[in-house]
Structure 1
Amino acid sequence: MKQDYYEVLGITKGASAAEVKKAYRKKAIEFHPDKNPGDASAEESFKKAAEAYEVLSDPDKKARYDQFGHAAFEGGGGFGGGGMNMDDIFSQFGDIFGGGFGGGGFGGFSGFGGGGQRRVKGSNLRIRVKLTLEEIANGVEKKVKVRRKVQADGVTYKTCATCNGSGQVTKIQNTILGRMQTAATCSSCGGAGQTLDRKPNDADAQGLKVVEETVSINIPAGVEEGMQLKFPNKGNEAPGNGVPGDLLVAIETHEHGTLKREGDNLHYDLYISISEAILGTSKEIDAVNGKVRIKLESGIQSGKILRLRGKGISSLNGYGSGDLLVHVNVWTPKELNKEQKDFFERMQGTENFEPRPQKSDKSFFEKVKDMFS
């Protein structure tokens, strides 16, 4: 089981953004590979701290994590969908130290990325995927077509002459405090340590070309409209020995014909006639995984809510499924023929047709309260 992100950084759930950043900086300094060469456990702690910071420093991700825990990012939904390698950490969070290691922050770290250079990451791709309620309830594997950049055949690269393959340029300045060394990403190669040598005609200035590919993505059950899932390394490739970007998938939903979603619960409006309410009946209704038959007792009242447990949406955090709430509505006819009208006129004032609500018959407000509890 994954360790709680707040516990990883040693902070409480109510910590401010500044406290989150300060706690991460402290942990990252403690476990930084420059200070712990060859220590696998320190490297793992370093990665855990970066993972926790990546989520807790983002207001949207933090809100999802606070609500669903680690399950909010399962199936590719965020950091937990594949994790970061050391290159990801250095490229995304290098400025948090402002020059604490390697002469200029994480970018100068020489233990990863091959000979000291920081591997460049390709750009992300963003697409929208529209799901049916059935797909949301059960999870689904989708095959989507994307247009992504890949390295063209025949492309070759050479060591950058500006930075000699390090991906960075170092400057030494004399100040009143002494000689200060700073490092910055090489402007010639963008930090890749390589520049384009030869390329075919169909490649761009970076040696990349656009192709259409079919990508398979697994979407977990319980996702909601507006969520964004991240699938690592399925975005655009990077030039040279870089790592591909990510595929970001925004979730949209198709409206269901009869079922309405509220969190993990589903709502269904069932209309029955007066005679069915008086005599009782059975009805077949829609559920998210097919039809279900329910029995309505004689004398059922309009507004009664029947709860079918476990017939709703699978919870994203893995805690079972929601319920299907069936709202019973007794339909009153607007027009009657003479025989029908005569019958109901005779029934006026009779004991059985007089309203006699019992204590067990809940009011509208009690039903609403039960529905949300």
Structure 2
Amino acid sequence: MSAKRDYYEVLNVERNATKEEIKNKYRKLALQYHPDRNKSLGAEEKFKEISEAYAVLSDDEKRKKYDKYGHVGSEEVFRGSESNFDEIFKDIGFGGIRDIFEQFFGGGFSARNRSDPFGFGFNFGRTNKGEDTVVDLSLSLEEVISGKNETIEVPSLEKCSVCNGSGCSPGTKTKKCTSCNGLGQTKRVVNENRFSTFVTVETCRMCRGVGEIVERPCRNCKASGKVPARKKIQIEIPPGIEDGMTLQLTGRGISYENEYPGDLFIRIHIKPHQIFQRLENGNILYSLKLKFTELALGTEVVIPTLYGSEKFKIPAGTQIDSIFKLRGKGIPMHNQRSKGDQIVRIKLDIPTKLTERQRWLIKELDDRKNM
């Protein structure tokens, strides 16, 4: 499943990080990946990604919504451009983005004529992402109109009881990784040309960043230190959610040692309703069956809605398939304050059994051409 990365993972900060910590981390990463300084493949996309993450996490309201609903809860989409980046850098105490590089390097800065002058050796630690988890959740229309807090059971991992989470066979221990010498990271020197050299730091592939390896794996957990389990979590369903929509809860998936947690994806299914049919734009359809006499003479009826019952007058001479609307009696629009309408479609209730007297009266009316 293709999805955006967790914004906290993008900036390499904890979920409870302060605004100051987020600001400092963004400033360092932005200086490293800005296209004016970094011409390597993917640097521009990386810069846009970290700027988008900062635009959300630095705003209290957007961060609160993101923490609740993940990417699906974001009402505003960040659109990357240099003007956006200028504003963000001004917010963290700089002038425009170009002023930053002039401040550090003087005018005419070019990334290709300097070799890592900052000496950044970021220790990103957890660079791998754990497993994404997908669960299905069915909701009724009544639950959709107001949203709800729902407790669901999701796949999880718990500490292995045999090795107590070490991943080692009982009675054995781990040993220092020889590939990274216990550091959990490996460095790679890249010579771009004879005037430019830079170093990349990567998570050690042998020990996955732990710095130690297991010689004799635990058979129960296969050296992972964790075993499959189930756990209950509470989630908040926003009003107006639609059938087929997927909620993404970042960092609520599965993670192994030294990994960022994967994401939890909740696929929404709306149960069919007994009397209402959901339409577009928050509208719902209700079919009202009336007798011929009620259509011809008019009547007052009580119409069920998702919010209770409503009295409604049917005018005389109403035709079959006529449409009436109950304003604001539909479903809230997702991420909007407005509601749809309840569409009432008139149907004729034709009796299947008639007495001789009823048959005579209907035929009498038909003969007089008054129907």
- What range describes the TM-score normalised by the shorter chain of this pair? 0.5 to 0.7
**Structure 2 match to 1:141:** 149
Is 1:339 matched up with 2:339? no
1-side partners of 2:189 and 2:33: how far apart?
23
Q: Name the SS for the 1:339 alignment partner.
A: helix
Distance, in Å, in 2 between the alignment partners of 1:119 and 1:200 is 25
Q: Offset at 1:32?
A: 1.4
CA deviations 1:327-353 (Å, max 9, x no partner) are: 0112234554332232233323657x3
The 2-side partners of 1:120 and 1:150 are apart by: 19
Q: 1:256 aligns with which of 266, 273, 292?
A: 273
Instruction: Tell me the secondary structure at the aligned position of residue 78 of structure 1.
Output: helix
Q: Identify the match of residue 229 of structure 2 among 203, 211, 232.
A: 211
- Residue 49 of structure 1 corresponds to 52
Q: Distance in 1 between matches of 2:347 and 2:132?
A: 49
2:126 is equivalent to residue 128 of structure 1: no
CA contact 1:309–1:322 (8 Å) conserved in 2: yes
Q: Distance in 2 between matches of 1:265 and 1:232?
A: 31
**Are the equivalent residues in 2 in contact too, given 1:120–1:192 (CA < 8 A)?**
no
| Structure 1 portions without partners, runs of 5+ | 1-27, 37-43, 54-68, 82-98, 355-373
Relative distance call for 1:244 and 1:30 in structure 2 (3 A) is closer
Question: Is the 1:259–1:286 contact (alpha carbons within 8 Å) kept by the matching residues of 2?
Answer: no
Q: Secondary structure at the match of 2:318?
A: coil
> 2:153·2:233 contact (CA, 8 Å) conserved in 1?
yes
Q: Distance in 1 between matches of 2:121 and 2:182?
A: 12
Structure 2 CA distance for aligned equivalents of residues 176 and 33 of structure 1? 22
Which residue matches 1:6?
Answer: none
Residue identity opposite 2:138 in structure 1:
K
- Greater shift in the superposed pair: 150-159 or 210-219: 150-159
- Aligned runs of 1:1-373 on 2, under 5 Å? 32-34=30-32, 47-50=50-53, 75-78=68-71, 80=73, 110-111=121-122, 115-152=123-160, 154-156=164-166, 160-164=177-181, 167-172=184-189, 177=194, 183=200, 184-191=202-209, 193=211, 195=213, 202-240=220-258, 242-263=259-280, 264-333=282-351, 336-348=354-366, 350=368, 353=370
Distance 1:218 1:174, change over 3 A: closer
Alpha-carbon shift at residue 215 of structure 1 (Å)? 1.1
1:32 partner SS:
helix
Deviations 1:285-333 (A, max 9, x none): 3322344343323332221111011111111122311111010112234
Structure 2 stretches lacking a partner, 5+ long:
1-25, 35-46, 57-61, 75-110, 167-173
Computed over aligned residues only, the root mean square deviation of the Cα atoms, in angstroms, reads 4.2
Shift of 1:271: 0.7
Normalised to the residue count of structure 1, the TM-score between the two structures is 0.61
Structure 1 residue matching 2:260: 3-state secondary structure: coil
Shift, 1:203, TM fit: 3.4
TM-score, with normalisation over the residues of structure 2? Answer: 0.61
Identity %: 26
* Segments of 4+ moved more than 6 angstroms: 28-31, 173-176, 197-201
CA distance in 2, matches of 1:199, 1:155: 11
Q: Does the 8 Å contact 2:29/2:50 carry over to 1?
A: no
Q: Distance in 1 between matches of 2:238 and 2:308?
A: 20
The aligned amino acid for 2:142 is E
Query: Given the superposition, is the C-alpha separation of residues 79 and 301 from structure 1 closer, same or farther in structure 2, using an over 3 Å criterion?
Result: closer
Aligned residue identity for 2:71: G
Task: Give the counterpart letter for 1:245 in structure 2.
Answer: G
Report the 3-state secondary structure (helix = DSSP H, G, I; strand = E; otherwise coil) of the residue aligned with 1:322.
coil
Query: Distance between the aligned counterparts of 1:325 and 1:74, measured in 2?
Result: 36
Q: Partner amino acid for 1:256?
A: H
Q: Is the 8 A contact 2:70 2:250 kept in 1?
A: no
Amino acid paired to 2:228: V
Within 1, Cα distance between the matches of 2:267 and 2:253?
14
Classify 1:244/1:198 alpha carbon distance in 2 versus 1 (closer, same or farther; 3 Å).
Answer: farther
Paired residue total: 278
**Do the aligned residues in 1 keep the contact of 2:191 with 2:198 (CA within 8 Å)?**
no
CA contact (8 A) 1:226 1:251 kept: yes
- In the TM superposition, residue 255 of structure 1 has moved relative to its aligned partner by 0.8
